[in-house]
């Protein structure tokens, strides 16, 4: 716990802010808590405000139940519940909520809003998702990979699809823990170049590799983990038809997965569109561990909450 003691009171906004040792220590704590070996009610008397500018199933339920299991109290705050949705400044909101709460989880649009909230809040702020990053999801993903593969370093993860917030956190998280990562996206939908460069720097430190390609077969070759996400994320519904056309050939199906290792596991952050970004045979097949992955959102987030908020 010595490594984690440095995280007390710290924000959890993106994985690039954390060392390899801190990420691995959080994953160890998450595994312990899942196994019932963690601290008992470490957040008793603590309150977490949960701000949702975007709707959610897994983020809301996993944080809410996780906070209750830790002995604390979660408080759901939709955009309609806050004056923030009617023009109050992020600065004022941060200062007021800091007087009432012990921590804030926010699921927002622009990442800069979360950064601003964290800058002015006097309590830890946890990023439940922004348009740029989804760090809590990647923590759950790494916990799941570790459970099924016994390790992280030296494995290869292939992500097929839109270079979105999930792809960005996969890039950073994988590079930080020494996994080889390959991202395959259609032309024009690649991940942000600055985030790719940052991931390459972390990968060089760990002796792993980062590959960005427009060829799904190249990406999944010899992969231990195959990952995908919906082609049109929340807020991109108007682009759905165009994206379906542009992403032709990027479906994760049996033919594509035949190029991976025979014991690969399949991940999806959910919700999924079966028959679109992934075939039913893969998402419902023997390689799929998507429900372990979904459950692990709660365990990974409990570790984050304890590290950042416990006394």
Q: Which of 224, 297, 299, 301 is catalytic?
A: 297
107 is catalytic: yes
Nearest-angstrom CA–CA distance, 9 and 26: 15
Is 74 flagged in the annotation as binding?
A: no
The answer to whether 49 and 282 have CB atoms below 8 angstroms apart is no
Is 297 flagged in the annotation as binding?
A: yes
Is 134 flagged in the annotation as binding?
A: yes
Is 299 flagged in the annotation as binding?
A: no
Is 288 flagged in the annotation as binding?
A: no
Nearest-angstrom CA–CA distance, 79 and 98: 18
Q: Which of 102, 141, 180, 229 is catalytic?
A: 229
Q: Which of 53, 60, 102, 107 is catalytic?
A: 107
Token pair belonging to 280: 């039913």
Q: How crowded is the C-beta side of 171, counted as CA atoms within 13 Å?
A: 27
Nearest-angstrom CA–CA distance, 78 and 284: 33
Which residue in this structure is represented by tokens 């290869």? 156
Is 83 flagged in the annotation as binding?
A: yes
69 is catalytic: no
297 is catalytic: yes
Residue 191's alpha-carbon distances to 9, 25, 187, 311, in angstroms, are 31, 28, 10, 38
Q: Which of 102, 111, 137, 308 is catalytic?
A: 137
Give the number of other CB atoms < 10 A from CB of residue 284: 12
Is 308 flagged in the annotation as binding?
A: no
Is 165 flagged in the annotation as binding?
A: yes
Q: How crowded is the C-beta side of 39, counted as CA atoms within 13 Å?
A: 15
Nearest-angstrom CA–CA distance, 195 and 118: 21
137 is catalytic: yes
Q: Which of 269, 299, 301, 308 is catalytic?
A: 269
269 is catalytic: yes
60 is catalytic: no
Q: Determine the number of helices (DSSP H) and then strands (DSSP E) in the chain.
A: 13, 9
Is 137 flagged in the annotation as binding?
A: yes
Is 59 flagged in the annotation as binding?
A: yes
Task: Indicate the annotated binding residues.
Answer: 56-59, 83, 107, 134-137, 165, 229, 233-234, 269-270, 297
Task: Indicate the annotated binding residues for carbamoyl phosphate.
Answer: 56-59, 83, 107, 134-137, 269-270, 297
Task: Indicate the annotated binding residues for L-ornithine.
Answer: 165, 229, 233-234
| Residues with catalytic roles | 107, 134, 137, 229, 269, 297
């Amino acid at each position: 716990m010595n490594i984690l003691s440095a995280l007390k009171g710290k924000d959890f906004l993106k994985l690039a802010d954390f060392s390899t040792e801190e990420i691995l220590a959080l994953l160890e704590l998450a595994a312990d808590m899942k196994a019932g070996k963690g601290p008992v009610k470490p957040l008793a008397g603590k309150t977490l405000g949960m701000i949702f500018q975007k709707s959610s199933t897994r983020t809301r339920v996993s944080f809410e139940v996780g906070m209750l299991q830790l002995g604390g109290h979660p408080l759901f705050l939709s955009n309609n519940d806050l004056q923030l949705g009617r023009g109050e400044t992020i600065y004022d909101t941060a200062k007021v909520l800091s007087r009432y709460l012990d921590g804030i989880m926010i699921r927002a649009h622009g990442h800069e809003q979360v950064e601003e909230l964290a800058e002015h809040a006097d309590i830890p702020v946890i990023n439940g998702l922004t348009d740029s990053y989804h760090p809590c999801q990647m923590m759950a993903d790494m916990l799941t990979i570790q459970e099924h593969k016994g390790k992280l370093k030296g494995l290869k993860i292939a992500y097929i699809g839109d270079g979105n917030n999930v792809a960005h956190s996969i890039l950073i998280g994988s590079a930080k823990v020494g996994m080889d990562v390959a991202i395959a996206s259609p032309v024009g939908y690649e991940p942000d170049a600055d985030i790719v460069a940052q991931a390459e720097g972390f990968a060089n430190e760990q002796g792993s590799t980062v590959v960005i390609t427009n060829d799904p077969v190249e990406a999944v070759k010899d992969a231990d983990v195959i990952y995908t996400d919906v082609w049109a994320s929340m807020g991109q519904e108007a682009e759905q038809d165009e994206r379906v056309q542009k992403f032709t050939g990027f479906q994760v199906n049996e033919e594509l997965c035949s190029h991976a290792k025979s014991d690969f596991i399949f991940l999806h952050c959910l919700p999924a569109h079966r028959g679109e970004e992934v075939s039913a045979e893969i998402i419902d097949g023997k390689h799929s561990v998507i429900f372990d992955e979904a459950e692990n959102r709660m365990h990974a987030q409990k570790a984050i909450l304890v590290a950042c908020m416990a006394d």
